[in-house]
Structure 1
Amino acid sequence: MPELDVILRGGLLKGRIHLLEGKPGTGKTSIGMQFLVKGAEQRERCLYIALSETEQELRGTAESHDWSLDGIDICEIVPVEANLADQQSVLFPAEVELSKTIKLITDCIEKYNPTRVVIDSVSEIRLLAEDAMRYRRQIIALKQFLLKRDSTVLLLDDLTAEPRGYELESTVHGVILLEQRERSFGSVRRSMRIIKMRGADYQSGWHDFAITKNEVLMFPSLIADEHHKEFAHEPISSDIPEMDDLLGGGMVRGNSALILGPSGAGKSSLALQYANAAAKRGERAAYFSFDESSETLLERATGLSMSISDAIKRDSVHWERINPTRISPGEFIWKVRRQVEDRDVSIVVIDSLNSYMETMHEEQALMLQMHELLSYLSNMGVLCLIIVGQTGLLENVHDPLDVTYITDTVILLRFYEADGAVHKAISVVKKRPGRHESTIREFTLTDSGVQVGPQLHEFEGVLTGVPRFIGKGGHEGNVPK
């Protein structure tokens, strides 16, 4: 699992004992199994010791992931007290039961002499011990035995024992905690963190992960300061001279821009214009859509004479529909990183921030994660365009998120009424660094594409939605002469 190795700053230390703990259903067996599958692929001797599941159940789990258990030995051990054939009318003393089970485990390890071992689960051993001191003594004895074998060991614990004890956590070298949280709607949210990793560095904090059909995917939390790339701080053209003039020469690589406006004002079309322009220059762009389907996007692009379909086919533009009810914030950020680091995209479009925030309202620190993502994209020289929909159409338009502070540039789109028709206007209200026009220009979407027209200098109050005509002779394209 290379992503877990990133979190662990290189991977699990060899020859050490690590604890993977979490309540039932959090993914311990799947992670432990993939740990062995990867080891078998490298021709290492791998052993799965099952105390709570049968070999048939384990093979069923592997088949559900399309994993092959070839090269992995499975040792199915039934604890003495759970084996009906061995029970007597006079119960075994707890010490005898525990010692016999530990002996079965050590015999199995000596028989197969593995490089990697998974013991699932030590909860069964805790139940046999009955007493915390007896449990700790047997765990230390097992630890000394395993260290002499120079095996890398994963102990699985389902945290079902009450009251909770920490004898095992204090004994092992590393502890990884898994959690899952149900959302009111959508898939379960899975996350993990490293509690300790004795003698090794690791990335602290919570990290999202997902269990898919073929693998367990970890999504290391983003630390923007760890990523930097040399790039020229040069303007990026929209291929619309008037738009570039409005922005004082264009947006700059490594900057971020918020495109604000009510529904239907042309926010996505403007963002698509930048992606299309990048593709025409031989660069790559990534477009992440939370709202519309690929069919709607391609229909929109065709109506604006954009060759987005061809750009997607030749991999110049990556378009991906994101379902926020089925994805975690960490997975989304990881998808963006893969486009930046694997495909070297120069533009990232997030459409829209409203859907991202509103459908993940149960998540914590979403805005902090978005701020870290923008810092990362800035360090990597990527222009990020974020679309935010505003409520209302003409009057009383307002921003439900109030996030203009997180980006370098803010582009404002508005509807306005003039002479019995609805028109669109565009303005730049913020840009750093550098200057920009303070004008309000006409904005239209035509069969020829996105167009930015002349300054609306004969109108007052355009951004209110109901402007007042103050010029003479009207304004061509807005009020007929």
Structure 2
Amino acid sequence: MDDSPDQSSPLSATGVVGLDNILGGGLTPSRLYLIEGNPGSGKTTLALQYLLEGVRRKEPCLYVTLSETKAELTAVAKSHGWSLEGIEIVELTASEAELEPDNQHTMFQPADVELGQTTKAVLAEVERVKPRRVVIDSLSELRLLAQSSLRYRRQILAFKQFFTGRECTVLLLDDNTSSAGDLQLHSIAHGVISLEHLSPQYGSERRRLRVVKLRGQRFRGGLHDFNIATGGLDVFPRLVASEHVEGRERAMLTGDVPELDRLLGGGIDFGTSTLLVGPAGCGKSSVAINYARAAAARGDRAALFAFDERSETLLHRAAGLGMDLRPQLKNKTLTLQQVDPAELSPGEFAATVRKAVDGADGHAPAKVVVIDSLNGYLHAMPEEDFLTVQMHELLTYLGHKGVVTFLVLAQHGMIGSMQAPVDTTYLADTVVLFRYFEAHGEVRQAISVVKKRSGKHERTIRELKLDNGIRVGEPLKEFRGVLTGTPTFDGEGDTLMGPANA
């Protein structure tokens, strides 16, 4: 049998936008596919969405259930606000009569009777309905009835030949309860989609899917996060930055503090990322908000994603520094989204940022993105080892889109030797370093730019002060060892900006 896709036939859309994106448009019609995953991973929901998409396209649809009842399927659909009208549902589950002692098989093996009856019933319903889309749920029942792997394989091969000759696209659901990782099915099916259901030590459950196999068709490999919400599966395709390369004119973002712009060599280039790194409370978020507010005031949308701070606290703190964000929030040039890291997967967060940048969230496309902070993003990761890889793809994508990105990263410690939970300094185009230091018996703040790929910058260390606004002082030329936290004063004058609490 020829397994090459029929290029003259349009692809069979799954009804899940993100999954269709991963598959390159949908499934090749008139083929047999395996949807595998543990119970609760979303197989039934995906199957129903596939059939409902067929109903919208005026295609006959058939759902053959060997385990769940029609009432249970109807309840699942109702929870998503769906109606199963237009889908033919055939129940081949055991009836109450099977519980009677007289109906229990004693002389024959169940496989000798029940498998043949089940197969005959399935084929009869297909001949009656003549569907274009078919779901069989689940293969575990057929595997148990067949008892031997040889008979089971022959049964699936017979199904494949039967359905292909009738132009049916078939989804076989397998819950992995009878045999984990059945490679026999993988070899028979035209495509295999695997669903995973993970339970982290804290926070909400995580779900991921992977296209294990898809013959004759390009697809986006790897793991893709997804959620099951009211309305079905919401799939977040893995971000591939190289698919979004765009030519951009060079421009520069300036803020409301001229001394800060001079420290950065005039401002920050669009299409670059800036890492603000230092101990907690030293002014990192305030500097990022300063640039976001300045962009919004000029009409360029800025999107703030706050992992660590409540929205009310952030707005109150910004107002105390003379940055009232309410006008920009009101006219939607500034959007603020509070993110709960315990409830968010990395794929969903990347998809949320993409919607803001593409303008797919109902607002103008964002030109400035603030992620506050990377520490919160790190806590949202089930596998910390892959944080830098995913962040690299996200930053590269934002760079291709000409977006200015601010990343806030809090280091462990307050003064002296400090460490970051993850090293992302090599990913950012610009790195701004914040430090506390002691002078005249007071704790003060210092700011310096240690890296800027896109141009020149000052190499001085200046004092940073947060009172009624953001103030940047003169270079601390008369101090030595400021970055250590306990500097030595070598001069005669004093370049500090008055008392720290003034």
- With normalisation by structure 2, the TM-score equals 0.90
* 2:475 is aligned with 1:455: yes
Q: For 1:61 and 1:153, how far apart are their aligned partners in 2?
A: 21
* 2:171 is aligned with 1:154: yes
* 2:199 is aligned with 1:199: no
More deviation, 248-257/79-88: 79-88
* 2:194 is aligned with 1:173: no
The alignment partner of 2:58 has SS state of coil
Please, what is the CA RMSD of the aligned residues?
Answer: 2.1
* 2:441 is aligned with 1:426: no
Q: For 2:181 and 2:224, how far apart are their aligned partners in 1?
A: 24
The alignment partner of 1:466 has SS state of coil
Aligned twin of 2:5: none
Aligned mate of 1:380, from 401, 421, 427 = 401
* 2:37 is aligned with 1:22: yes
* 2:217 is aligned with 1:217: no
* 2:97 is aligned with 1:97: no
Aligned twin of 2:8: none
Q: For 1:164 and 1:222, how far apart are their aligned partners in 2?
A: 27
Aligned mate of 1:71, from 75, 82, 86 = 86
Unaligned runs of 5+ in 1: none
Matched-pair contact (CA < 8 Å) for 2:110–2:145: no
Q: CA offsets, 1:257-285, max 9 Å, x none?
A: 11011111111111111111111111111
* 2:103 is aligned with 1:51: no
Aligned mate of 1:254, from 266, 271, 277 = 271
CA 1:20–1:215: 2 relative to 1, 3 Å = same
* 2:24 is aligned with 1:9: yes
More deviation, 96-105/262-271: 96-105
- With normalisation by structure 1, the TM-score equals 0.94
More deviation, 37-46/349-358: 37-46
Aligned AA for 2:411? Q
* 2:484 is aligned with 1:469: no
More deviation, 92-101/289-298: 92-101
The alignment partner of 2:128 has SS state of helix
Aligned AA for 2:424? V
Q: For 1:305 and 1:246, how far apart are their aligned partners in 2?
A: 21
CA 1:261–1:87: 2 relative to 1, 3 Å = same
Q: CA offsets, 1:74-118, max 9 Å, x none?
A: 111126999446544433562432121011112222222222221
Aligned AA for 2:205? V
Aligned twin of 1:304: 321
Q: For 1:398 and 1:136, how far apart are their aligned partners in 2?
A: 57
Aligned identity (percent) is 48
The alignment partner of 2:451 has SS state of strand
* 2:157 is aligned with 1:140: yes
Matched-pair contact (CA < 8 Å) for 1:419–1:479: no
* 2:367 is aligned with 1:350: no
Matched-pair contact (CA < 8 Å) for 1:80–1:100: no
How far the C-alpha of 1:304 sits from its partner, in A, is 2.1
* 2:126 is aligned with 1:109: yes
Q: For 1:399 and 1:195, how far apart are their aligned partners in 2?
A: 37
Aligned mate of 1:130, from 132, 147, 153 = 147
| Number of equivalent positions | 479
Aligned twin of 1:365: 386
CA 1:167–1:393: 2 relative to 1, 3 Å = closer
Unaligned runs of 5+ in 2: 1-15
CA 1:166–1:476: 2 relative to 1, 3 Å = closer
Aligned mate of 2:431, from 381, 391, 410 = 410
Q: For 1:95 and 1:181, how far apart are their aligned partners in 2?
A: 38
